[in-house]
Amino acid sequence: MTFPRNISLFNESKILLLLLVLILGISMCGQYSAFNGELCSPIGKHALRIMLGIILMCAIACTDLKFWNNFAYFFYVFTFIALVIVEIRGAIRLGAQRWIDLYIFSLQPSELMKLALVLSLARYYSLFSLRDIDKLSTHMVPLLATIAPAILVMRQPDLGTALILLGTGFCVIFLEGFPLRILKIASIILALLLPCSWFLLHDYQRNRILTFLDPDRDPLGMGYHILQSKIAIGSGGLWGKGFLNGTQSKLDFLPEKNTDFIFTTITEEFGFMGGICIIILLISIVFYFLWIGRLSKVLFTKIMCYGLAILLFLHTCINIAMVIGLMPIVGIPLPFISYGGTSMITFMSSCGLIVASCRYGRNFNRKI
């Protein structure tokens, strides 16, 4: 591992920094409003998390990507074992068990798995030559590496994260040249199998889907979240009700207003314009990630950038789609903005990796 020689070469990352400042600013405002405009300790905690996130990002940005390349498989195996431990403990304790208490902080392995999966996929594909790419056997390992943790996560049960893992993994595999004909056959089989998956779902997950299809089915029970969220967003109008004036969130009609429904809280107060701003900002970051990937000459960096971009996009898309009622509620936070440490760490680390790619991508030697 070598320490960076020229720190002033952060040309491309300046854009990312600007975008991050904007989105984190919105995040602070949104959280401040979601806590009813009071300067309470959770707000301080959120600020602290942002600070820690920035420090983490800088730290990762300063690391050598060779390290991440070497470390990828180990990271993946470590996280996978953690997931298995969670699964076993969950089986003993019954009910949802998503984290391991490490006495100092609680670790949510499913969250780490997102990064571990992207890194190990990037490493795996970067080692293949052009000729092998058309063979199905090349893609079997990545497919397995994607599906196995997804199943474990789904058993926690955490449908949202499982979907994210599958989506990210499949997208990367598709980008790296998964044979088209097999893809066609697989998608047909999948379409046929989809109805069967109904029986694999937990009762609460089925209820969520039914509620999504018909929110009025149980307006005070299961349908309550989505109904109140739609009312809050819809009542915002073009310019919103004004900062700190959102009635749905202030009067607690909106549940989970800090975490999964933070987008609702903000769009109620800032209206369609506020919503557009957030979407544009987050999608800009996604495209920034893709752009860095494009610029990168090194395969590992390239694939990692693509993977992280897809990860970020899926979070954004699923979260917003679910709060505006285009998708069932699956419990996915909005990147950078939702309250909660794990998601903040994941995405700030991704940014750190991206900045690191800017610095090293161009002269990263394929033969390490």
Binding site for other proteins (CB under 8 A): 130, 133, 171, 174-177, 220, 228, 230-238, 247-248, 251-253, 267, 271-272, 275-276, 279, 283, 286-287, 290, 294, 306, 310, 313, 317, 320-321, 324-326
Which of 133, 151 has the CB closer to other proteins? 133
Closest approach of other proteins to the CB of residue 135, in Å: 12
Q: Go through 66-88 and write b for each residue having 16 or more CB atoms within 10 A of its CB, e for each that does not.
A: eebbebbeebbeebbebbeebbe
Q: Do residues 285 and 348 touch, judged by C-beta distance below 8 A?
A: no
- d(C-alpha 30, C-alpha 320), whole Å: 15
Which of 52, 231 has the CB closer to other proteins? 231
- d(C-alpha 192, C-alpha 194), whole Å: 6
Which of 217, 294 has the CB closer to other proteins? 294
- d(C-alpha 354, C-alpha 361), whole Å: 9
Which of 293, 352 has the CB closer to other proteins? 293
Closest approach of other proteins to the CB of residue 18, in Å: 20
Closest approach of other proteins to the CB of residue 175, in Å: 5
Closest approach of other proteins to the CB of residue 234, in Å: 3
Closest approach of other proteins to the CB of residue 227, in Å: 8
Which of 271, 335 has the CB closer to other proteins? 271
- d(C-alpha 365, C-alpha 295), whole Å: 15
H or E element in which residue 126 lies? helix 109-126
Q: Do residues 167 and 330 touch, judged by C-beta distance below 8 A?
A: no
Closest approach of other proteins to the CB of residue 181, in Å: 13
Q: Measured between alpha carbons, how far apart are the two ends of the chain, in Å?
A: 11
- d(C-alpha 164, C-alpha 311), whole Å: 7
Which of 70, 284 has the CB closer to other proteins? 284
Q: Which amino acid is at 302?
A: K
E strand spans, the chain: 100-101, 106-107
Which of 152, 286 has the CB closer to other proteins? 286
Which of 111, 268 has the CB closer to other proteins? 268
- d(C-alpha 220, C-alpha 215), whole Å: 10
Phi, psi (degrees; rounded to nearest 5) at 19: -60, -40
Closest approach of other proteins to the CB of residue 209, in Å: 18
Residues in Cβ contact with 162 at an 8 Å cutoff, skipping those fewer than 6 apart = 150, 151, 153, 154
Closest CA to 152 of 110, 205, 108: 110
Closest approach of other proteins to the CB of residue 315, in Å: 12
